[in-house]
């Protein structure tokens, strides 16, 4: 049985910062699509996503984003879940794929189940166990520091409260070397960098 090595990856982006009281019911962001060449696309990948963390101690999450590299050689949307029922990665490429240079609106929200997707492109609903969550993240992720993430741009990062989506008003930055994050607003950041 093979399991992930989550901490070995590199991240650039924002964590949400929670306060006392029930957390909001969803996360969304407008993410610009970058298409990068890198030396070992068969071994490595980069992806940009929004995530709902279901548990930090067991490492459970729900995620929607786009990916390039490893088992998806071109830009491809995906959804990913890991919970007490196991792991599931679904490529959402039956109808559309993301286009380099375009921005798309990614979202995940919870009612009884989790609904996630890219506005106007696809939407899927999944049950999870646990059914509720503890945190949100909006990040660029790579498996190798040689991958150049220049041009990364997340904007309008939002949380869902009732029927409304509001921009984040707080965040904690995540910036793994060699990547740099430019914090424009609590709901807006750019990222860049690579090594060498």
Partner 1 sequence: MKKPVIIVVCIILAALVTLTVETNERSEDLFEPGVKGFAPFEDKASKVSFEEVIKSWSEQGIELYLPKSLPEGLKPTCVWVETNSEGKMGAIALFIYDSQGKENISTAELVIEVTHRITIPFKSETAKGTFTKINNWDVYIDEDAPVAWKEYHDMYKTTSSIIIDVQIGQLNYWFRASPTLQLAEIIEMIENMEKTAVS
Q: Please tell me the distance from the alpha carbon of residue 104 to that of residue 99, in angstroms, as a whole number.
A: 9
Closest listed residue to residue 141, CA positions, set 39, 63, 67, 48:
48
One of 25, 80, 116, 159 touching partner 1 (CB under 8 A)? 80
Dump the DSSP string for 65-109. Answer: EEEEETTEEEEEEEEEEEETTEEEEEE--SS----TT-EEEEEEE
Rule CB under 8 A: is residue 41 a binding residue for partner 1? Answer: no
One of 30, 32, 41, 70 touching partner 1 (CB under 8 A)? 70
CB of 88 to partner 1, least distance (A): 5
Query: x/- binding map, residues 82-121, to partner 1, per CB under 8 A?
Result: xxxxxxxxx-------------------------------
Kindly give, in sequence order, each residue whose CB lies less than 8 Å from that of residue 54, ignoring residues fewer than 6 positions away: 60, 61, 62, 83, 128, 130, 132, 133, 134
Residues that bind partner 1 (CB under 8 A): 1-7, 9, 11, 13, 15, 17-23, 43, 45, 47, 49, 51, 53-61, 63, 65, 67, 70-71, 78, 80-90, 127-135, 137, 139, 141, 143, 170, 172, 174
């Amino acid at each position: 049985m093979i399991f992930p090595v989550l901490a070995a990856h590199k991240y650039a982006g924002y964590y949400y910062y929670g306060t006392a009281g029930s957390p909001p019911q969803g996360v969304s962001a407008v993410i610009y699509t970058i298409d990068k060449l890198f030396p070992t696309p068969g071994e490595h990948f980069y992806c940009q996503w929004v995530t709902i963390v279901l548990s930090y101690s067991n490492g459970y999450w729900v995620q929607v984003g786009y990916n390039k590299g490893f088992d998806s050689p071109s830009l491809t949307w995906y959804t990913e879940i890991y919970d007490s029922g196991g792991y599931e990665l679904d490529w959402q490429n039956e109808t559309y794929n993301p286009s380099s240079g375009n921005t798309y609106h990614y979202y995940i929200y919870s009612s009884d189940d989790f609904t996630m997707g890219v506005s106007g492109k696809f939407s899927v609903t999944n049950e999870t166990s646990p059914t509720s969550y503890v945190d949100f993240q909006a990040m660029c992720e790579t498996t190798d520091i040689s991958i150049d993430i220049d041009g990364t741009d997340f904007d309008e990062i939002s949380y869902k409260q009732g029927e409304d989506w509001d921009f984040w008003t707080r965040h904690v930055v995540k910036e793994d070397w060699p990547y740099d994050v430019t914090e424009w607003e609590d709901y807006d950041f750019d990222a860049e960098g690579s090594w060498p």
